Amino acid sequence: MPFPQTRMRRLRASAALRGLVRETELRPGQLLLPLFVSEAVASRDPIAAMPGVDRLSIAQAIDEARQAHALGIAGVLLFGVPANKDPEGTGAWDDDGVVQVALHALREAVPDLLLITDVCLCEYTEHGHCGVLDSEGQVDNDASLELLARTAVSHARAGADIVAPSDMMDGRVGAIRTELDGEGFAQTPIMAYSAKFASAFYGPFREAAGSTPSFGDRRTYQLDPANARQALRETLLDVQEGADMVMVKPALAYGDLIRATREATELPVVAYNVSGEYAMVKAAAAAGYLDERTTVLEILTSLRRAGADIIISYHAKDAAQWLAKT
């Protein structure tokens, strides 16, 4: 019935009523916290473009993981920052590499926290690309698959609960699934960076991980931000290859893709609230242009509303603390 019989404000009259009819839930157990673990850091090394985020020693990574677990955050996503790099990125699959050593330490220190690892070569290669190069200096898709699969197995062997390939090479989910199964890790899930776009929002991350390409860019393997149908095709191919979860990255400018992915698959959908999105909020809050708490919770709720089951966010610790007080 129309107004005046229908009054939409009736269910907004109090906090209790608003809570009773709230359609979208946001809780710490839906959040994952990214951590940068560095071989070259004795304790903490602040990242200028990401206030409140540091490159961490393993001891400090353990401290962050313990805090995250105490706040009810589901897990941490580990990125390695090695002391040395080479053309093939051999540090990525070194059983004594920074991520592998961190996994052993974290598993012992925080046994109930989910440990997820980024599987890529960009942090470990001298050139900063996500795969190895061919004789003409181009990223060699097929030659990179074996190395990515080897990296995933090394992470699983060191204690990773979930491996998350972010490289955007064609066929890498299938290659990783085959290698994991063959090495006795059939129960290790793959969280695929399926719809990963060539985005301007990654700038602060590249500072944090030291992974800026030394030449060119990543547009030959990451998605064009204009292409939604192609992104869904990428996602469905990952599903066919054996992905257990699929991801949309970045998040804020891609709510349409999160919703479309949610409708296209029954797999859990992950949204990555990336470094540039974090940095924008931090800068605006520091300038007094907006309230950080309400802005962050609104952003994260919007990603859940769009269809994300899981959210990776540098805001995770703050958000968990704020949620505990609501």
pLDDT band at 263 (very low <50, low <70, confident <90, very high): very high
Q: Which pLDDT tens digit goes with each residue over 70-127?
A: 999 999 999 999 999 999 999 999 999 999 999 999 999 999 999 999 999 999 999 9
User: What's residue 301's pLDDT?
Assistant: 98
Annotated active-site residue in 85, 249, 282, 317: 249
pLDDT band at 258 (very low <50, low <70, confident <90, very high): very high
d(CA 229, CA 76): 31
Six token digits for residue 187:
């129960």
85 belongs to the catalytic site = no
Six token digits for residue 15:
């906090």
Counting residues of the chain whose pLDDT is more than 90, the rounded percentage is 93
d(CA 66, CA 58): 12
d(CA 182, CA 157): 13
| Averaged pLDDT, 191-197 | 98
Residue 244, pLDDT > 80, answer yes
Q: Which pLDDT tens digit goes with each residue over 45-56?
A: 999 999 999 999
Report, at the CATH architecture level, how domain 26-324 is classified.
Alpha-Beta Barrel (3.20)
User: What's residue 46's pLDDT?
Assistant: 95
Give the residue among 311, 292, 291 at the shortest CA–CA distance from 300: 311
282 belongs to the catalytic site = no
Residue 169, pLDDT > 90, answer yes
Residue 43, pLDDT > 90, answer yes
Annotated active-site residue in 85, 196, 282, 317: 196
Across the chain, mean pLDDT equals: 96
User: What's residue 206's pLDDT?
Assistant: 84
Extract the runs of DSSP E, i.e. beta strands, from 39-171. 44-46, 54-56, 75-81, 114-119, 162-165
User: What's residue 213's pLDDT?
Assistant: 86
Residue 274, pLDDT > 90, answer yes
pLDDT band at 28 (very low <50, low <70, confident <90, very high): very high
Which is more confidently placed, 207 or 109?
A: 109
